[in-house]
Amino acid sequence: AQSVTQPDIHITVSEGASLELRCNYSYGATPYLFWYVQSPGQGLQLLLKYFSGDTLVQGIKGFEAEFKRSQSSFNLRKPSVHWSDAAEYFCAVGAANFGNEKLTFGTGTRLTIIP
Amino acid sequence: DAGVIQSPRHEVTEMGQEVTLRCKLISGHNSLFWYRQTMMRGLELLIYFNNNVPIDDSGMPEDRFSAKMPNASFSTLKIQPSEPRDSAVYFCASSLRPGQAYTGELFFGEGSRLTVL
């Protein structure tokens, strides 16, 4: 069974500082990996995804993530956060096989930005 | 293009009442997912469909919950009778199936916030 662990429930970062959100997954084969962002009262919006190829993937809003198979990790990074980045961030893993297209989500990391 | 459309956005009801949540898929998508989000349990997959056929309903809590896809673009999630512990935000998401320009991405609606008193 696939699973995702986001060890940090809540992170506070100063505006302009760098950010790294951790994500570890468990899956028997090569996974499809995703980061989504959720603003209060909104649905989930895709930030970026990894299927194959280059292990460093770029997403929207200046975010990037690196797939490290040896560590079963897919950490999200941003060099300089903006106040508008305050939200909840979810890592997800999928198998993308027929009959198993579902995504399994982590418990999320809430990001607070201080001036 | 319109995204996934859910209704109602907010629903307040009393215990024992029937609740029906609705979802319209993105045009051309053929997989449909219902998730439930709570503080305690996070995002849980309830059920998903491919081409109107339920594939995995192992996340449906109990017989009080049922989901249908009467056609390729529309789905309902029904709770009868509702209980206070059903209070949550229910999300619908759609995607393409593998093999059809598949990206693995799920496109989410804005959710239906259910409060059962």
Per residue in A37-74, pLDDT (tens digit) is: 999 888 999 999 998 888 999 999 999 999 999 999 99
* pLDDT over 90 (residue A1): no
- Predicted confidence at residue A99, as pLDDT, reads 58
Mean pLDDT of A23-47: 91
CB distance B42–A107 less than 8 Å?
Answer: yes
- pLDDT per residue as tens digits for the range A76-88: 999 999 999 999 9
| Cβ pair A48, A59 in contact under 8 A | yes
* pLDDT over 80 (residue B56): yes
Token pair for B80: 């009868």
pLDDT range class, residue B98, cuts 50, 70, 90:
low
CA dihedral B29, B5, A88, B12 (to 10 degrees): -140
CA proximity to B70, closest of B78, B59, B60, B61: B78
B72 in contact with A at a CB cutoff of 8 Å?
A: no
CB distance A44–B48 less than 8 Å?
Answer: no
A96 in contact with B at a CB cutoff of 8 Å?
A: yes
End-to-end CA distance of chain B: 37
CB distance B105–A102 less than 8 Å?
Answer: no
Among A25-34, A77-86, A88-97, B95-104, whose mean pLDDT is lowest? Answer: B95-104
Query: In this structure, what DSSP letter does residue B73 have?
Result: T
